[in-house]
A and B are shown apart, each in its own frame.
Chain A
Amino acid sequence: MTGGSWLCLLAPLAGTILILVGGSWIPRVVAAWIATISVFVAFGGAIWAFLSVHNQQYTGCLNGTCRGELTTAWTWLAAGHFSVPLQLLVDPLSTMMMLIVSGVGGLIVLYSIGYMDGDEEERRYFAYISFFVFSMLLLVEGGNLLMLLVGWGLVGLSSYLLIGFWHERPSAVAAAKKAFVMNAFGDATMALALFIVIAHTNSLSFGVLNVHFSSTQANLIALGLLGGAVAKSAQIPLQTWLPDAMEGPTPVSALIHAATMVTAGVYLIARTSPIFEQARTIELMAAGLGALTLLVAGLIALVQTDIKRVIAYSTMSQIGYMFVGVGVGGYANGMFHLMTHAFFKALLFMTAGLAIHALANEQDIRKMRGLGRVMPFTKWCFLAGALALVGIPPFAGFFSKDPIIASTLNIGWYGYVFYACGIAGAFLTGLYTFRLWFLVFPGEPSPFVREHYHDHNGREGAWTMLVPVGILAVLATIGGWIQFPPHWDPITKWLAPVAPSLADAVPSSTQETVTSIVSVLVGLAGIAVAWAVYSERKIAIPAVPSVRRILENKFYFDWLYDRIFYAPGVWLANVLRREFEEPVVLQTGTDLGETTLAAGGIVRRLQTGLLRTYVLLLAAGAAGVVLAFLIAK
């Protein structure tokens, strides 16, 4: 059991080190395969760990671990009675995340081989991406809160490195910086939460979260953890970095900013659910932020023209659903949606990558009309992902999204608000997803497509790109069939020892059925409206300039943060430079130098250069000393 977890964690790290140490001694293609194979080895380790957890005899709870095993390598930090071991936790929740991260990650790294082929700095890319997989696995396997925080910080770092991978583009560098700063804010609030935990329990193991905290402490801890989750998962109010992060290479967007890292917030809430259950208000706040984000992101996605940004906003919106799911206490629902979302969102990004790659890096959907005629494989795979995203049966999203919406019905009046948001979000999802579809794929190819389309040896891309897309298209189609509540719920049962869903969050059969029907109908309505507006042009796009302006400015969040944080920061820095640095810091050095020079100018006259003067002074001095001694005696 423990062997699988260590293998899973260390294989990508070994890949990174090999590529970095090898440097230009190893050919580019070898570096790419080292990264790919290391991640697939990690997937093998994850399967090993999964099977051993699956076959383990249930023996009751120990140290907060009810199923699975905590393995300790050594004591990492020790200060007095407080110590943090370097340990990994293998339990149902972490094995599920390990399988998703290394499985989808392996496919995306394989896809990168074709996508990044010919880039100047391929080796650096593959070193970074396997380092990211290592960090993400550390995050999900970490056996205590500090290990989790370390992984949390490292994924932020690798995300920064990969967003800014094309470092000669100023926009990429700015986007990387923005992502890093916003994530650092979340890291800081998480660290503060951990300090409170240490102060109260003198420990950081996951088990201590079951201890009873006072209400204030529980609220503060949960709030700090929520801050981290919100920053990492790009939820309001820390959401503005995610769309900009699309400056990175497309496989990076698929892996980090869709399938794995941005969903870490959902994992965090599921993992630390005992503390969130003690602070129910904060947990519902998470659901509220999720509901707000899913609406806001869905609306903004309607007016975006960059293919990757549309998908990025849809990612924010889907993570909003997951937050609603875990926020109302249905941890299994949230985690199940995380899994299916990893499949279909990675698929959507990778098909978008195929299109971008074949069209000489063009990302503007207004130029892409009729792409389906020249890229049929891409077209059908994208359609599978789009239907899964909208939640049309039998595609994956149908099985995972509807239970989340239904689970909000029993928790009180705010549950109905979340429910309404979820249903409205389903309509928006259908609308923006199929806006993208109708603008890009059907119809006659546009002149731009005719002119710029170039295939790859007669196919739509290298085989390393097409195979992962095909596999994910299959997963996006059938991946949801492993759970169909309330009749068939292996994932809920699997996660029950770690994060049992609250009783409130289990909808009745009727609620489930009605919700499924309503949300599918609403999703279809969204598709129909998209068809009427963007394909047939029967309905003109409603021209409300003010609304359009608000949406195109993304609800002015960036503008607001500029005014509140950036502009005062710059103003303060300028004032300090003018009033303090220039007169005090810079001037002090010059003044010191000038004073010393002046003093030296006086003393230098003593140095005549005449030997005899020196001797005379010496003799006079000696005589003076002798005289002084004689008198003193």
Chain B
Amino acid sequence: MRIFQSWRYPANWRIFRLDDRLLLILAAIIVGSCSGLASVILNRALMAMFNWFHHLRHYWWVFVLPATGAALSSLFLEKVVKEGAGHGVPEVIYSVSRYGGLLRFRSSFSRLISSALTIGSGGSAGPEAPVVISGAAIGSNIAKYFSLNDRQRVTLVGCGAAGAISSIFNAPIAGMVFAIEVIIGEWKSVNIVPIAIASVAGTEISRILQGNQIPFSHRIFNIHQMDILACVGLAILTAAASILLTRLLRSMDKIAKKVPAPLWIRAAIGGCAVGLIGLFLPEVLGKGYHVVQTTIEGAFSQGLIIVGLATIAKIVATALTLGWGGSGGIFAPCLVIGCLAGLTYHHALVLLWPSITWVNQGCFALLGMAGLISGMLQAPLTGIFLIVEITGGYEVILPLIIVSAVTTSVCHYMEPAAYYMKDLVEYGHLLRPGTDARVLSDLNVSELIEKDCIAVTQNMLLRDFIKIVKKSHRNYFPVEDEETGHFMGIIHLDDIRQYLFNPVMYDTVFLGQIMNTAVEVVNPDDDLADVIRKMDANHLFSMPVVVNNRFIGLISKGSLLDQYRKELMVQTCQSI
């Protein structure tokens, strides 16, 4: 029985309690392996579904296939596991910034199933984001199992995301950088070490089960100065493509919300539209990695117009799939769109300046991918490392950096928030560590209440009040009703200073006559940022905290500064 008990609470095992960092590293290995496994499972499932449905491609009715898949995945998410649609990365970031990385256990498999249904049936979406949320949820739940604190849990959530990306792309550095740059947003060694280990674990799992292969291997490119110059143009094209994709995704979402139909019918409509596009341009269906592969090898032989059309069609198909309620990520579509955009750009260059010998079209495809990833995620490092690793092409690093940097800046100029953070920023939910918003959201009103105020009653004479003023340390005096104890108003010494020195008024004025009743009050559950906004708007220094008509205490800017500073020091100092 005792052995069983100790298995239930692994947090109490002596080996884990030796050192917190050791515990975190051990947990990181487990999390990385599990999320690596999740990504291998999804990959296998997608391959199997691709094989089942491959022979159906010849029939004319095949366009309903994506519709069925999207509808099923939407039904599964809505009715069975009761989770929202979408790709899930914003949810992970939201939970990291607000709830210390708490995620539900069911999140660790729900998106895997729904995205397998959507993508396997031909919807234009990627398997990466679902794997990221699965990995993150696995990390969060393992942290819960070990009863770790918020900070460690956030690190393990990052580990899950890192393991997932590392494993699905066989790219350990990209996974690491993605987890830190996009998910956690804090470059500290306490985070980096476990995340790096999780990346290694995730990559190793995928190499054991699937073999060590570079997803998009390519031939060697000979890059000249002209090509590097041409990169800037490509960067602007990819920036335009990513802005188009972002706007289209969001507008599709808005249009879909206006359709008076259940979620699964909306998803089916989107899927149908994708299927129809797929009848003419089969490249847009599925995650579309075969397109990337053929392009990088330089075997994609279509002309400029077809490639340009395919680029736009892929953007539209992705927006239709994801905006109308299908489930999946934007990573894979980004890669495909970037690849097609690069190809379009190459064709255009060849058409305009046929005399110059441009580098192989595969190189531009590769740069386009980096551009789109950087533009959509506004995470230049993730874009650079991901492309270097999935193509094994270190020789393109210079143009790669240029494209990533330019695209990120242009996109940032046009769309200040990255696609993943857009909703979060809109609702004020993006709270990166060490920022003002984070400190204010962590502090709450009840921690700041000062209780050394002396309450007075409204029927008190000014003479008696002056005796109380002598004893008090504060300038504010709450007025309470004698019988009910309800809060009536507040007396601020500044308001009544001239009466204090006029002895004639001592016995003629009651406090009820001079108190301020139109006073803004605070509830202990109020958001601190709102409280401060109220203080600023009304030029207040202190505000009374009132619950159920009873005065609890005072909240003032003086103590707020004190607490704010302590909180900031604890949050931003180099940690233990």
Are A and B subunits of one complex? Answer: no
Interface residues of B (CB under 8 A from A): none
